[in-house]
Structure 1
Amino acid sequence: MKSAELQRCARVAIEYCGHVKPGERVLIVTDTMRDFSVAEALMGAALAAGAEPVLTLMPTKRSTPQEPPPAVRAAMAEADIAYLYTTYSLTHSSARIEAQKAGARIITMPGVTEDGFLRTLSVDMNTLVRLTNKLSTRVARARSARVTTALGTDMRYELEHPLAIMDGVAAEAGDLDAFPPGLFLSVPSLGKASGVAVVDGSITQIGRVSTPVTMRFEDGRLKSIEGGNEAARLSTLLASLDDPNAYEFAAWGIGTNPGAALIGDDPSFEGERVYGWTHVSTGSSAALPGGTVKSKIHLDGIIGAPTVYLDDELILEKGKFVAEFQS
Structure 2
Amino acid sequence: MGVSAIKDHRLSAAARVLVSEHFAVQAGECVLISADTRTDPELLDAVFGAVCQAGATPLLATLPKLPFQGALADPYLPPAFAAAAAQADVWLDFNFPYMAGSTPHDEAIKAGRVRYGLLALPDGASLARVYGGVDFGALMDFQVALAEYLDARAGAEAHFTCPLGSDARFILQPVKLKRHRVANVPGIHTVPGAQSLYPQLDSVRGRIVLQALFDEVYRPLRRPITLEVDGRIQGFSGAGAEDAPRLERALRRAGNGQYGYFVHFTLGFHPAACFTGTNFIEDIRLPGTNAIGMGLPWWEPGGGENHPDGVVFDQTLSVDGEVLVKNGAFQGPAALRALHERLLPRFY
Q: TM-score under structure 2 normalisation?
A: 0.84
Cα distance between partner residues in 2 of 1:117 and 1:239: 30
Q: Provide closer, same or farther for how the CA distance between residues 245 and 260 of structure 1 changes in structure 2, counting only shifts above 3 A.
A: farther
Q: CA deviation at 1:270?
A: 2.3
Q: Are 1:249 and 2:262 counterparts?
A: yes
Query: Secondary structure at the residue paired with 2:128?
Result: helix
Q: Structure 1: any 5+ residue segments left out of the alignment?
A: none
Query: Secondary structure at the residue paired with 1:87?
Result: coil
Equivalent in the alignment of 1:226: 237
Please say if residues 268 and 302 of structure 1, whose CA atoms lie closer than 8 Å, have aligned partners that are also in contact.
Answer: no
Cα distance between partner residues in 1 of 2:114 and 2:203: 33
Cα distance between partner residues in 2 of 1:215 and 1:191: 15
Cα distance between partner residues in 2 of 1:214 and 1:117: 32
Equivalent in the alignment of 1:285: 297
Matches within 5 A, 1:147-158: 147-158=160-171
The ranges of structure 1 where at least 4 consecutive aligned residues each deviate by more than 3 angstroms after the TM superposition are 165-169, 201-204, 233-243, 290-293
Matches within 5 A, 1:175-186: 175-179=187-191, 181-186=192-197
Q: Are 1:92 and 2:97 counterparts?
A: no
Cα distance between partner residues in 1 of 2:92 and 2:150: 28
Cα distance between partner residues in 2 of 1:295 and 1:121: 27
Cα distance between partner residues in 2 of 1:198 and 1:169: 35
Q: CA deviation at 1:263?
A: 0.6
User: Sequence identity of aligned pairs in percent?
Assistant: 25
Cα distance between partner residues in 1 of 2:64 and 2:178: 29
Q: Provide closer, same or farther for how the CA distance between residues 326 and 23 of structure 1 changes in structure 2, counting only shifts above 3 A.
A: same
C-alpha RMSD over aligned residues: 2.3
Equivalent in the alignment of 2:158: 145
Counterpart selection for 1:119 from 124, 129, 139: 129
Q: Provide closer, same or farther for how the CA distance between residues 166 and 183 of structure 1 changes in structure 2, counting only shifts above 3 A.
A: farther
Q: Structure 2: any 5+ residue segments left out of the alignment?
A: 339-348
Equivalent in the alignment of 1:35: 40
Please say if residues 159 and 189 of structure 1, whose CA atoms lie closer than 8 Å, have aligned partners that are also in contact.
Answer: yes
Q: CA deviation at 1:16?
A: 0.7
Query: Secondary structure at the residue paired with 1:75?
Result: helix
Q: Give the letter aligned to residue 188 of structure 1.
A: P
Equivalent residue pairs, number: 320
Q: Deviations over 1:133-158 (max 9, x none)?
A: 11111111222211112321111121
Please say if residues 149 and 318 of structure 1, whose CA atoms lie closer than 8 Å, have aligned partners that are also in contact.
Answer: yes
Q: TM-score under structure 1 normalisation?
A: 0.89
Equivalent in the alignment of 2:323: 314
Q: Are 1:214 and 2:226 counterparts?
A: yes
Counterpart selection for 2:84 from 59, 75, 78: 75
